[in-house]
A and B are shown apart, each in its own frame.
Chain A
Amino acid sequence: MADVLKRVPVREQDPAVRAHNFDEVCLGYNKEEAMEEASRCLHCKNAKCVQGCPVSINIPDFVAAVKEGEFEKAYQVIGQSSALPAVCGRVCPQENQCEGKCIRGIKGEPVSIGKLERFVADWAKENGIKPETAKVKNGKKVAVIGAGPAGLTCAGDLAKLGYEVKIFEALHKAGGVLAYGIPEFRLPKSKVVDAEVENVKSLGVEIETNVIIGKSITVDELLTEEGYDAVFIGSGAGLPMFMGIPGETANGVMSANEFLTRNNLMKAYLDEYDTPIRKGQKVAVVGGGNVAMDAARTALRLGAEVHVIYRRSEAELPARAEEVHHAKEEGIIFDLLTNPKEILVDENGWVKGIRCIRMELGEPDASGRRRPVEVPGSVFDIDVDTVIMSLGTSPNPLISSTTYGLDVNKRKCIIADEETGKTTKDGVYAGGDAVTGAATVILAMGAGKAAAKGIHEYLSNK
């Protein structure tokens, strides 16, 4: 009998092997492993895990179904709350959400809810199970802007309620950050992302790519000329930030967004694609979030020695613990308590190094984290030929500046009610990074879900 305090371990690709390929790192549970792990669930009456889930999946019910081997039932339970289970099972920060609240976790290790969700979603795909569709259409039309996590979730929920939903996507492919941002080795594109998008389409949702709202057509035109009853804006994070240090426009300096988009959306790592990418021999990734980890691990797989440069210490790294752990296993070098001062440029305008200064942690700042301060006289250089800036993004003004009556806050994020997604403009709802600034896939999904509910209430009373 296995130790109930311990999780059933999940199989992973060997770090030495995976550092050279783009195949998925985590291999997931098989049936037996999933059923055994599910049997660890205490099936709490007042389940804390559900409270920890931004989309309130009925976790005890789906886990119970897995335990009994009733995987299709488990899939439909998850489907009531989540449009993208195969994605969430892979990229949600479960340690801070469902699993962080798991009662099993008090004495031992929490139930691997994320890995179980992933198993159920993958099983459903392999067995051709689709989510349940709406029985009757209600004749009302909703336009959704952006085919990322927020938009797909909102669209899926509304379609299940009987709405005619069309998603407008600016890029040539649906998925948003799932397609352009998160790498193949963490979230396989054709196996997982495309399949989830197909599931949303199977609910009756239409997706039109290559439409930039605010340019190809405005929100006001959607509401008037194209006859939509409501609009949801889930347009995502926006413009990448740079540090404003000397040398930043040199050749070989790019945003993590550019680097990841070239590799993930435009598939630069595959020979048959025309997309060029700067591979680099020695790469510095500046920043400590999940995007920085993704960029670092991608650069490593393209063949570079990679340094992550972060100004605080390991405890403050905003990236998920699992990502940092995986990055270290693969051989990423962490230069912590280090901050770039200048990018060194050769006579031809290419990056030749990065000048940094050592930092130490001082008093806590507004975020509650100890503020990093420079250690005087500790400047040093690292030889690199490529620098990837992963410092977050600032909101894209394309939609807010072209939509009459849509207000933004001081940070230029769209103002929207957290409970309903309602904006300052009648009939227009918003959620995800466009509202909160860069956050996580699941929070965007939660916002998409809340907005679907808000839109449903609004249109039901109209």
Chain B
Amino acid sequence: MYKILKKEVLAENIYSMVVEAPRVAKHCEPGQFIIAKVDETAERIPLTICDYDRAAGTIRIVFMPIGASTLKMKDLQEGDAFEDFVGPLGRPSDLIEEPIEELKNKKILFIAGGVGTAPVYPQVKWLHEHGVEADAIIGAKTKDLVILEKEFKEVCNLYVTTDDGSYGRTGMVTKCLEDLVKEGKHYDHCVAIGPMIMMKFVCKLTKELGIPTIVSMNPIMVDGTGMCGACRVMVGDEVKFACVDGPEFDGHLIDFDQAMQRQAMYRTEEGRAKLAFLEGETHHGGCGHCGGDK
């Protein structure tokens, strides 16, 4: 069992948990993910690591409940435990493989959107700890949904932007990047992590601006070790498995439209499980999928 040592609500419907997982904490690197499973009947949920403490043997995860299993997950309290918690999975970020001197000569920009802010954090922190100061943009719909601002400020030069202008700059992350470039900023490398639609438009823009861009894909997955092939992603004209070849890929080669389509594959089935979870015994059909009408 993998005990939850700390639970926080970062924003409406965004949760943070620090979980005891010494094997994962000992070996994980920025960019990698874990798979968590609440109990016997829950799904295996892949989540990119938000932070880790090797000495304490802990992993921090941040998630937004959307299906039955993540709803169960948010109901766990400090002192409760995950039945399963496995990792680290996937390849570490390429950045940490590069010679530090080369990284210091590069101007690196991180673009984080919504709950995708979490997986950006360990990369920015890692660079900071190795003496590389990067820029980061955190984008959120509104002020209340900006997460991890304090943590980011300690390790990088941060810009916050909100869609409604309620905090920081106004507009989406793409506008913020455009504005920064107009203000004279120059970037050699970009890492963008967030909702698929955000990554798509960031990549469209960085391609025009000529900034190489890495994205982190979070497709449907079952085992996370290469066994099922559910996480197939088109990268250029090649089919890649996000779990073993990724999760980070060259964003300019990703077919985002297809990736978004694939993400919706189990939507109706997941919706059915979610309704059954929310309504419990009171769910007597009507969703059109569960057969409860029969």
- Chain A interface size range: 35 or more
Are A171 and B261 in contact, with the CB atoms below 8 A? Answer: no
A215 close to B (CB within 8 Å): yes
B277 close to A (CB within 8 Å): yes
Given contacts A255-B229, A266-B44, A398-B226, contact A274 B84 (CB under 8 A): no
Query: A275 — nearest CB in chain B belongs to which residue?
Result: B43
Which of A216, A238, A274, A397 touches B86 (beta carbons < 8 Å)? Answer: A216
Alpha-carbon separation in the docked complex, A262 to B229 (Å): 12
- Which residues of A have CB within 8 Å of B89? 212, 215
Query: A169 — nearest CB in chain B belongs to which residue?
Result: B86
B139 close to A (CB within 8 Å): no
A209 close to B (CB within 8 Å): yes
B161 close to A (CB within 8 Å): no
Alpha-carbon separation in the docked complex, A244 to B232 (Å): 12
- Chain B interface size range: 35 or more
Are A210 and B265 in contact, with the CB atoms below 8 A? Answer: no
Given contacts A210-B86, A277-B269, contact A170 B228 (CB under 8 A): no
Given contacts A215-B27, A254-B229, contact A172 B261 (CB under 8 A): no
Which of B42, B222, B265 touches A278 (beta carbons < 8 Å)? Answer: B265
| A389-408 vs B, Cβ < 8 Å mask (1 yes, 0 no) | 00000001110000000000
- Which residues of B have CB within 8 Å of A255? 228-230
Min CB distance B10 to A, Å, is: 24
Are B232 and A249 in contact, with the CB atoms below 8 A? Answer: yes
Query: B32 — nearest CB in chain A belongs to which residue?
Result: A215
Q: A198-234: which have CB < 8 Å to B?
A: 209-212, 215-217
Are A276 and B270 in contact, with the CB atoms below 8 A? Answer: yes
Min CB distance A442 to B, Å, is: 21
| B70-106 vs A, Cβ < 8 Å mask (1 yes, 0 no) | 0010000000000111111100000000000000000
Min CB distance B94 to A, Å, is: 16
Given contacts A258-B228, A258-B229, contact A217 B67 (CB under 8 A): no
A80 close to B (CB within 8 Å): no
Instruction: Name which of A172, A272, A274, A398 has the most chain B CB atoms within 10 A of its CB.
Output: A274
Which of A249, A349, A396 touches B239 (beta carbons < 8 Å)? Answer: A249
Which of A209, A277, A397 touches B84 (beta carbons < 8 Å)? Answer: A209
Alpha-carbon separation in the docked complex, A275 to B266 (Å): 10
B37 close to A (CB within 8 Å): yes
A339 close to B (CB within 8 Å): no
Are B239 and A258 in contact, with the CB atoms below 8 A? Answer: no
A460 close to B (CB within 8 Å): no
B152 close to A (CB within 8 Å): no
Are B222 and A258 in contact, with the CB atoms below 8 A? Answer: yes
Are B244 and A398 in contact, with the CB atoms below 8 A? Answer: yes
Given contacts A255-B229, A262-B222, contact A210 B27 (CB under 8 A): no
Min CB distance B150 to A, Å, is: 31
Are B84 and A210 in contact, with the CB atoms below 8 A? Answer: yes
Given contacts A215-B87, A249-B234, A251-B264, contact A261 B41 (CB under 8 A): no
Alpha-carbon separation in the docked complex, A271 to B276 (Å): 9
- Which residues of B have CB within 8 Å of A248? 239
Are A276 and B266 in contact, with the CB atoms below 8 A? Answer: yes
A242 close to B (CB within 8 Å): yes
Q: A227-265: which have CB < 8 Å to B?
A: 238-240, 242, 244, 248-249, 251-252, 254-255, 257-258, 261-262
Are B228 and A261 in contact, with the CB atoms below 8 A? Answer: yes
Are A212 and B87 in contact, with the CB atoms below 8 A? Answer: yes
A46 close to B (CB within 8 Å): no
Q: B218-264: which have CB < 8 Å to A?
A: 222-223, 225-230, 232, 234, 239, 241, 244, 258, 261-262, 264
Q: Interface residues of A: mostly helix, strand, loop or mixed?
A: loop
Min CB distance A212 to B, Å, is: 6
Query: B255 — nearest CB in chain A belongs to which residue?
Result: A249
Given contacts A251-B262, A261-B223, A277-B269, contact A216 B228 (CB under 8 A): no
Instruction: Name which of B24, B42, B265 has the most chain A CB atoms within 10 A of its CB.
Output: B265
- Which residues of A have CB within 8 Å of B226? 238-239, 396, 398
Instruction: Name which of B26, B37, B41, B42 has the most chain A CB atoms within 10 A of its CB.
Output: B41
- Which residues of B have CB within 8 Å of A461? none
Min CB distance A202 to B, Å, is: 22
A409 close to B (CB within 8 Å): no
B14 close to A (CB within 8 Å): no
- Which residues of A have CB within 8 Å of B69? 274
Given contacts A209-B84, A216-B88, A278-B269, contact A261 B232 (CB under 8 A): no
B68 close to A (CB within 8 Å): yes
Which of B24, B44, B265 touches A172 (beta carbons < 8 Å)? Answer: B44
Are B225 and A396 in contact, with the CB atoms below 8 A? Answer: yes
A367 close to B (CB within 8 Å): no
Alpha-carbon separation in the docked complex, A238 to B264 (Å): 26
Are A217 and B262 in contact, with the CB atoms below 8 A? Answer: no
Alpha-carbon separation in the docked complex, A252 to B262 (Å): 9
Alpha-carbon separation in the docked complex, A171 to B222 (Å): 10
Q: A59-87: which have CB < 8 Å to B?
A: none
Which of B41, B229, B277 touches A239 (beta carbons < 8 Å)? Answer: B229
Query: Can you identify 5 A-B contacts, CB atoms within 8 angstroms?
Result: A215-B89, A251-B261, A277-B269, A278-B265, A397-B244
Which residues from chain B sit less than 8 Å from chain A, CB to CB?
Answer: 23-24, 26-27, 37, 41-44, 67-69, 72, 83-89, 222-223, 225-230, 232, 234, 239, 241, 244, 258, 261-262, 264-266, 269-270, 272-273, 276-277
* Closest 10 pairs between A and B when the two form their complex, measured CB to CB: A276-B269, A258-B228, A276-B266, A210-B86, A349-B261, A172-B84, A255-B229, A240-B229, A274-B68, A216-B23
